[in-house]
Each structure stands twice: as C-alpha cells, then as structure tokens.
C-alpha cells in the first residue's frame, strides 16, 4: 500500500478545542440512542421512557440553545442552524407527547423524495397528459415500494388483472394504426 498524507483531524479543530456545535450534536445523538433503546416497545412504554430519558437530554439541549443563540452571528452557518432549531423547538418536543410519534420526519421525507425529483423530470413531459400519466405511474410504483412489494411485479399483476384476456397486441402497435388515432 503506498504511503499517503492523511489529515490530522485534531489539527483541523485546534489543540484541545471543541466546536461550538459538539455538545448539541452529542445531545442529539443521545436522543437517537434513546429511540434505539425503545424501538419495538408499546406506545405507552415509549412515552414513559421518553419522559424519563429523553426529556432531561432535551432540557440540556434547550439550555445550550439559549446560551448559544446570543453568541452566534445570525447569518453564519451555525447561527442559521441555531435559529432554525429555536424556531422549530415546539415541533421538536411534539414526539414526547405520544409514543406513536417518531422523533423525526425522515420516513416522510424519504417517501416524498422521488416525487420532488420527479417534479423536475415532469417539466419535460411532451404534454400535460403525459406528465399526469407519468406522475400516476410514479405514485403507483412508490406506493408499491412503501408496502414492501416489488414494483415491477406489482405493476404487472395490476396490468394482468385490469387488461382483457389475450388482447390483440398486433393491432395496438403504433405503425399499424390508421387515421392518426
């Protein structure tokens, strides 16, 4: 293996210095560790353990937020993140109210990502009807994925069920059509 120069991470940050966000990141990691520990429990048990374990962590994070907000330049990257966290704080606490709620909305974000990406692709559809058909098919495929199905198999099953038995495909070929229809 050839010798390569590697970056010393400790030098990037400075000797014995920690970043201003390190405590917040550590506390957020602790919240996710609590979620990992309570995974699979009943909603009532999740609620109880969140009150017991996550609430004290959130209290520390709140104290860090209050202290840090006054020390940040609002237009800096960390300042923007701190402002966002402060603005979202009530929403951040909502998951503590009900054991059925998730700590974040990552699952929902992942579910809509294909549609956000598709939105740009649909700008270049030949017609509005084509864009709508594409969006419908996209929705069917993503719904199949969300339900643990293999999208191709699901679409084929739907087509088999919806189409009449043994249609004459030859007459459907574009070059066989007469009269522009």
Q: Are 135 and 116 in contact (CB under 8 A)?
A: no
- What pLDDT does 180 receive? 47
For the chain, the domains span 17-97, 106-164
CA–CA separation, 58 vs 61, rounded Å?
Answer: 5
Give me the pLDDT at residue 13, please.
42
Q: What interhelical angle do 55-69 and 77-93 show, nearest 10?
A: 140
* Structural tokens at position 7: 């970056």
pTM reported for the whole predicted model: 0.61
For CA atoms 119, 123, 125, 127, give the dihedral sign. positive
Q: What is the pLDDT of residue 11?
A: 40
Helices (H) then strands (E): counts for the chain = 8, 0
Cβ-based burial of 20 (10 A; exposed 0-12, middle 13-18, buried ≥19): middle
Tell me, what DSSP letter sits at residue 42?
-
Task: Per residue of the chain (181 residues), give pLDDT as tens.
Answer: 444 444 443 343 444 456 788 999 999 999 999 999 999 999 999 999 999 999 999 999 999 999 998 888 888 998 999 999 999 999 999 999 999 999 998 888 887 787 787 777 777 778 888 888 888 888 888 888 888 888 898 888 888 777 776 667 676 556 665 554 4
Output the pLDDT for position 56: 97
């Amino acid at each position: 293996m050839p010798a390569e120069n590697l970056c010393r991470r400790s030098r990037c940050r400075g000797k014995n210095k920690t970043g201003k966000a390190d405590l917040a990141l550590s506390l957020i990691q602790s919240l996710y560790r609590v979620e990992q520990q309570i995974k699979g429990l009943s909603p009532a048990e999740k609620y109880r353990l969140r009150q017991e374990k996550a609430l004290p962590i959130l209290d520390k994070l709140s104290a860090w937020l209050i202290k840090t907000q006054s020390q940040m330049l609002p237009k800096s990257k960390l300042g923007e993140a701190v402002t966002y966290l402060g603005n979202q704080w009530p929403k951040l606490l909502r998951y503590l109210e009900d054991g059925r709620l998730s700590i974040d909305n990552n699952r929902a974000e992942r579910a809509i990502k294909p549609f956000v990406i598709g939105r740009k692709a649909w700008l270049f559809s030949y017609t509005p009807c084509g864009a709508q058909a594409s969006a419908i098919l996209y929705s069917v495929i993503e719904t199949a994925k969300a339900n643990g199905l293999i999208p191709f198999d699901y679409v084929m099953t739907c087509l088999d069920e919806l189409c009449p038995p043994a249609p004459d495909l030859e007459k459907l070929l574009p070059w066989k059509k007469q009269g522009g229809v």
